[in-house]
Amino acid sequence: MDKNPRLLADVEAAGKRSTENVARVESTAARERSERLQAEKGGRERLGHLGGRYAFRWQGDADEAESFELILRDSGKFESQYFSQLAKTMTDTQTHSGVWEVSATERQILLYKEGGGPVERWALDAHGDLDAGKDFALSKQRMILRPDDDCLDVAAALKSLQVDRTVGPVSKELFTPGPAAGKHRLEEFVRKRLSLFGQKRNDPTKQAVSGLSPWIKFGQISAQRCALVVRKAAKGAAKSAANDFLEESIVRRELSDNYCWYNQNYDSLKGASAWAVETLKKHSKDKREYLYSRAQLEKAKTHDELWNAAQRQMVSEGKMHGFLRMYWAKKVLEWSKDPATALATAIYLNDRYNLDGREPNGYVGCMWSICGVHDMGWSERKIFGKIRYMNYEGCKRKFNVKEFESMYPANSEVNGVQVGEASKKRKSTKAASSGAAKRQKRSK
Ligand SMILES: Cc1cc2nc3c(=O)[nH]c(=O)nc-3n(C[C@H](O)[C@H](O)[C@H](O)COP(=O)(O)OP(=O)(O)OC[C@H]3O[C@@H](n4cnc5c(N)ncnc54)[C@H](O)[C@@H]3O)c2cc1C
């Protein structure tokens, strides 16, 4: 099958935008360094020109600040200090020293840590970007840093964006943005929850999933890094849980990427298999016992308290539990006037409220639930045809449904948000409901 031209066009446009932005913020100093590096060919005499102090500082937002200072000595030695402060309480300092050299082929500065063992290698490239070596080798993640005098004015850049601001940020206690917080969440998952993942990941009343998808979505941690860290921790009882995690984070995720890359209709009924299109069409006029508008669904105003609670979790916390997403989307099919409307509504809500939305995983999740993508035909029933069905009773067999419902009760305030409503302000201060208190207890 041909590569998806629509996705390719988006990717190319995004790449172009990003290249233009980077070009705009390049300071004269960075350009001069780049020209110097490019003009000079091999040889240790170059070291003298590049020696000096390089300071980088970057600010995630009000509570998160990171800095990196690098001193390159003419002798070929370097010293570096990385400092990160999160929410005034968590700090992380790392110092390193060793030798540095210029890579003749890639025009990069390579830093070799002292002390033997595998060489830790960082590279400062011609544009003043720092490339973290060993740890990121598989993920090819780059930390794009700018020298002090070249800092992007984040507040001004954000202000200039023409975006829908009616959905506010979620509480930072739930999801602190940035690579450091993502790494912290990964380590915490491996330490505290990996052993539960195998048995309890489909129970939304338990804290068993990794919760990493928002960081993965924004490229603040790579799925490869998560897989490597989890694989390393896969010992004893955690071994089978780690295999389950790898199956989800590699196999399912890449199946989604692959589907969206190759299927131009990745978010439409046309993208479904022939059997699914046929069965959905056959049942599209079936009588619906319940019929809800998008607005009713958005405000969690259905007869099904489990569905409402899942919707409230997504609206208030920015992440619906993975197991419930399947139930949630299948009910959208059951309660919408036809399958095309159901798919559009599920994608709209998923992308609007889940922090990890607007992702291949999301499109395929909705397509799996509503259009049978990557699934098979099941016994035929009303509305669903041969699409796999899920119901409230089935959920009751899997977990304590009432407990989950009580965690996101109607008209409660969660993280400062009136969770029956799509709110302008999800950002929060205090947990005000009994449901929130339960969730807080659960997360400890
Ligand atoms: C209707 C529906 C909508 C969904 N929307 C999204 C979405 O917008 N963004 C998103 O990232 N995922 C989506 N998923 C897939 C899955 O539910 C989430 O990836 C998962 O809940 C994220 O939470 P976690 O990181 O705690 O997951 P964990 O269970 O800890 O899994 C770890 C990682 O594995 C990957 N993964 C897990 N399950 C799946 C899956 N079924 N398909 C593909 N990758 C998976 C994700 O990268 C996830 O972060 C959706 C699923 C459905 C059924």
Torsion, CA 422, CA 423, CA 426, CA 430, rounded to 10: -110
Distance 179 CA to ligand 1 centre (A): 19
Residues with CB under 6 A from ligand 1: 201, 209-213, 216-217, 223, 248-249, 252-253, 256, 322, 325-326, 329, 350, 354, 356-357, 359, 361-362, 365-366, 368-369
Q: Is the pLDDT score of 253 beyond 50?
A: yes
Tens of pLDDT, residue by residue over 143-188, are 333 344 444 566 777 778 888 888 988 988 899 999 999 999 999 9
Q: Is the pLDDT score of 292 beyond 50?
A: yes
d(Cα 363, Cα 413) in Å, to the nearest integer?
30
Distance 209 CA to ligand 1 centre (A): 10
Q: Is the pLDDT score of 327 beyond 60?
A: yes
Query: Could you count the other beta carbons within 10 Å of the beta carbon of residue 251?
Result: 10
For ligand 1, what atom is nearest to the CA of residue 255?
Answer: 43
Residue 1's pLDDT band, with cuts at 50, 70 and 90, is very low
How much is the pLDDT for 406?
A: 95
How much is the pLDDT for 61?
A: 59
For ligand 1, what atom is nearest to the CA of residue 357?
Answer: 8
Q: Is the pLDDT score of 444 beyond 60?
A: no
Q: Average the pLDDT over 59-75 and give the result.
A: 72
Residue identifier of the C-alpha nearest atom 12 of ligand 1: 361
Q: 44 is written with which tokens? A: 């240790």
Pocket test for ligand 1, best of 199, 314, 356 (most atoms within 8 A of CB): 356
Q: Average the pLDDT over 393-403 and give the result.
A: 97
Q: Average the pLDDT over 406-413 and give the result.
A: 82
Residue identifier of the C-alpha nearest atom 39 of ligand 1: 248
d(Cα 143, Cα 141) in Å, to the nearest integer?
7
- Of the listed ranges 33-42, 197-206, 377-386, the one predicted with least confidence: 33-42
d(Cα 18, Cα 40) in Å, to the nearest integer?
28
More confident residue, 149 or 409: 409
d(Cα 354, Cα 134) in Å, to the nearest integer?
32
- Please provide the average confidence, as pLDDT, over all residues in the chain: 79
How much is the pLDDT for 161?
A: 81
Q: 442 is written with which tokens? A: 């659960």
How much is the pLDDT for 140?
A: 28
Domains identified in the chain and CATH numbers: 23-158 (2.40.128), 179-258 (1.25.40.80), 265-442 (1.10.579.10)
pTM of the predicted model as reported, rounded to 2 decimal places: 0.69
Residue identifier of the C-alpha nearest atom 34 of ligand 1: 249
Residue 83's pLDDT band, with cuts at 50, 70 and 90, is confident
Q: Average the pLDDT over 75-87 and give the result.
A: 79
d(Cα 345, Cα 348) in Å, to the nearest integer?
5
Q: Is the pLDDT score of 399 beyond 60?
A: yes
Q: Is the pLDDT score of 134 beyond 50?
A: no
Pocket test for ligand 1, best of 192, 194, 248 (most atoms within 8 A of CB): 248
Distance 175 CA to ligand 1 centre (A): 16
d(Cα 441, Cα 407) in Å, to the nearest integer?
11
Q: Average the pLDDT over 108-123 and give the result.
A: 61
How much is the pLDDT for 32?
A: 54
High-pLDDT (> 70) share of the chain, %: 67
Distance 213 CA to ligand 1 centre (A): 7
Residue identifier of the C-alpha nearest atom 20 of ligand 1: 322
How much is the pLDDT for 149?
A: 41
Tens of pLDDT, residue by residue over 330-355, are 999 999 999 999 999 999 999 999 99
